[in-house]
Structure 1
């Protein structure tokens, strides 16, 4: 039987429509949580981190780690594996990952005028109009960013993305279910050998995308009958070398018969292609109130392909630790407000997996002992040789990767 995908605005009678479709079709309901769980099994990544791919907020480290793009690649592969089953109802953000070339998928969008949604929010959640408006705008922003990432479109309700767009302020849930059923009965969305082949192509492309992501690459992948096309959308000075590396990775994926590389429109823009290097830390938080020093340090680390963010005081650093989850901190001791030792203590209490390198010009031997006892990875003095600091960062990263590998082995 055909696949139904449902993407919706909140407070648009979505629960009633989904329940009605499940009852009338007997379909298996696939949620975002199901897809995230599958992606976690594929990648070994934490489900919480994978779920952040759906969030409107992108980490400040993402331009170095490609973490959101790697998460989406794993989510797409998890969904591709699910699509091999019949009679599915896929709802939520994951529904938009279903490739448009899969003809037996009926794409449904549920949306309504704002006044209708505000009234529903008040009735269902007890929210006043201001609270409801703020909530709906935030949720719509998340949906808009998701659509922009996947399709380059700003409007999440763009009719070109769906087969049918249902105005839920004008329809009851029962009427919406009936309209979906009527469209589901049409020959154009019947499962055929050709549409089944499209699912196979979709899965192969997803497998190649994940294989590339595991090697640090973020590349657009398409597949048809075993022929894979890789599109490079960012400029690189060594194009032929990059193409050779991409082909080498893709050709090792079972089912790939040939690989073609090409450049896309984005290749001619100023943005530079950056491969994620797993051998160096890309989520480094620099904490120091000496602005000129820390900005220069950030630039010097960037020259060594180490991505960093900056906090100029202890309070800001603790906020960034909570929101952005850095892997390594380079921390000064003497700062206004919360000092470095207190920051170290709090970080190790709440997120002990973060490796903290103390870099100070004012510390004493007693300070060094306190920091190391609290769990600091290293204690360095200013001025520091950049090669020594770089080597210390790499050693901290080795410790992090070793711990991740052990954790993954235990969970499997």
Structure 2
């Protein structure tokens, strides 16, 4: 089975240079989040900017009525499942995190760096003072976090989300790329032993989610050899009645042999009529994930020595990308 890379990195963490180095050595094409959004827009006849706006407004009140974010994610999963059936690729962004972690054909990588390193990269990238650079980094981090925290279920910096964490402030782009490729070889060996039929399962699950989302059902789906498991993510009055409706709809899809419906973690509420959904404020959530991000970096950085000043200067000579 073909394996792919998903590299997700912080701003000013040398992510683009690492992605370019891996692509130059492997010959794999680079697929960005924007490329997937454009492909989804063309397939489902929806403007790409509208898809992106729906994802950015995934936590708004309007989305609770229209479920535009859920439909956008279902469309993107469908496009991503088809991309995985093609030649190996390097997915640059967060879209690879949309796939389920179990038996995934995509190795996910987080490129991270400490604040001082990112600050120096920002100062070298554009003429600005240290205060402006700090504001720019904070603005980029908050924008990315607020845009996609609901799309990936708030697991942007969860340790279990990534197969490899690369501290880019402890190695240059070539060393980081070689480390990722070494980990990819081990990932491929594990994937070939326990992922038979995974691509077919992903395609079937994406077809089910698209079909149900277009009919207004907020349901996530997983598939295994024709057996589809549906998870109801919102509280409803009559779960059994909804399960029968979903089963009739899903059984119309080719390849479905069995349908199972279960409640999700947010299904049980104190009162099904209580429409207030109290969530963690965005500021507190951002601080929590920032601490988790720093913890992931510190754990990965313990395995590598610091870069020497000569290596740092050699990395800063060429033009530096903003990502």
TM beyond 0.5: yes
Cα deviations by residue, 1:130-170 (Å, 9 ceiling, x for unpaired): 333233223323444535542443xx333321111011111
Note if contact 2:55-2:72 (Cα within 8 Å) is conserved in structure 1: no
Question: 1:72: which partner in 2?
Answer: 73
Deviation at 1:38, TM superposition (A): 2.0
Q: How does 1:359-374 map to 2 (within 5 A)?
A: none
Q: Once superposed, what is the RMSD of the aligned Cα atoms?
A: 2.5
Question: 1:39: which partner in 2?
Answer: 40
Note if contact 2:218-2:233 (Cα within 8 Å) is conserved in structure 1: no
Q: How does 1:89-168 map to 2 (within 5 A)?
A: 89-145=90-146, 146-147=148-149, 149-153=151-155, 156-168=156-168
Aligned partners of 1:57 and 1:232: how far apart in 2? Answer: 18
Aligned partners of 1:12 and 1:42: how far apart in 2? Answer: 33
Question: 1:48: which partner in 2?
Answer: 49
The structure that has the greater radius of gyration is 1
Question: 1:247: which partner in 2?
Answer: 247
Deviation at 1:21, TM superposition (A): 0.3
Aligned partners of 1:59 and 1:52: how far apart in 2? Answer: 11
SS at match of 1:150: coil
Question: 1:332: which partner in 2?
Answer: none
Point out which structure has higher relative CO (alpha carbons under 8 A, 6+ apart). 2
SS at match of 1:215: coil
Structure 1 residues 95 and 142: CA distance shift in structure 2, 3 A? farther
Structure 1 residues 117 and 262: CA distance shift in structure 2, 3 A? same
Aligned partners of 2:193 and 2:254: how far apart in 1? Answer: 21
Question: 2:186: which partner in 1?
Answer: 186
Structure 1 residues 129 and 270: CA distance shift in structure 2, 3 A? farther
Note if contact 1:234-1:271 (Cα within 8 Å) is conserved in structure 2: no
Aligned partners of 2:257 and 2:136: how far apart in 1? Answer: 48
Task: Note if 1:207 corresponds to 2:204.
Answer: no
Task: Note if 1:5 corresponds to 2:6.
Answer: yes
Deviation at 1:22, TM superposition (A): 0.2
Question: 2:300: which partner in 1?
Answer: none
User: How many residues align structurally?
Assistant: 273
Aligned partners of 1:113 and 1:158: how far apart in 2? Answer: 17
Note if contact 2:103-2:191 (Cα within 8 Å) is conserved in structure 1: no
Task: Note if 1:85 corresponds to 2:86.
Answer: yes
Note if contact 2:105-2:198 (Cα within 8 Å) is conserved in structure 1: no
Structure 1 residues 127 and 70: CA distance shift in structure 2, 3 A? farther
Cα deviations by residue, 1:346-394 (Å, 9 ceiling, x for unpaired): xxxxxxxxxxxxxxxxxxxxxxxxxxxxxxxxxxxxxxxxxxxxxxxxx
Note if contact 1:234-1:269 (Cα within 8 Å) is conserved in structure 2: no
Structure 1 residues 221 and 15: CA distance shift in structure 2, 3 A? same
Note if contact 2:166-2:176 (Cα within 8 Å) is conserved in structure 1: yes
Note if contact 2:57-2:63 (Cα within 8 Å) is conserved in structure 1: no
Aligned partners of 1:60 and 1:138: how far apart in 2? Answer: 24
Aligned partners of 2:9 and 2:67: how far apart in 1? Answer: 27
Question: 1:225: which partner in 2?
Answer: 225
Aligned partners of 1:119 and 1:247: how far apart in 2? Answer: 55
Aligned partners of 1:142 and 1:206: how far apart in 2? Answer: 28
Note if contact 1:104-1:192 (Cα within 8 Å) is conserved in structure 2: no
Aligned partners of 1:266 and 1:182: how far apart in 2? Answer: 39
Aligned partners of 1:197 and 1:222: how far apart in 2? Answer: 13
Structure 1 residues 151 and 261: CA distance shift in structure 2, 3 A? same
TM-score by length of 2: 0.77
Note if contact 1:103-1:189 (Cα within 8 Å) is conserved in structure 2: no
TM-score by length of 1: 0.61
Q: How does 1:215-364 map to 2 (within 5 A)?
A: 215-270=215-270
Deviation at 1:187, TM superposition (A): 5.7
Aligned partners of 2:178 and 2:238: how far apart in 1? Answer: 55
Aligned partners of 2:181 and 2:28: how far apart in 1? Answer: 12
User: Unaligned stretches of 5+ in structure 2?
Assistant: 276-323
Note if contact 2:71-2:210 (Cα within 8 Å) is conserved in structure 1: yes
Deviation at 1:70, TM superposition (A): 1.0
Aligned partners of 1:115 and 1:272: how far apart in 2? Answer: 48
Deviation at 1:219, TM superposition (A): 0.6
Note if contact 2:233-2:265 (Cα within 8 Å) is conserved in structure 1: yes
Deviation at 1:8, TM superposition (A): 0.6
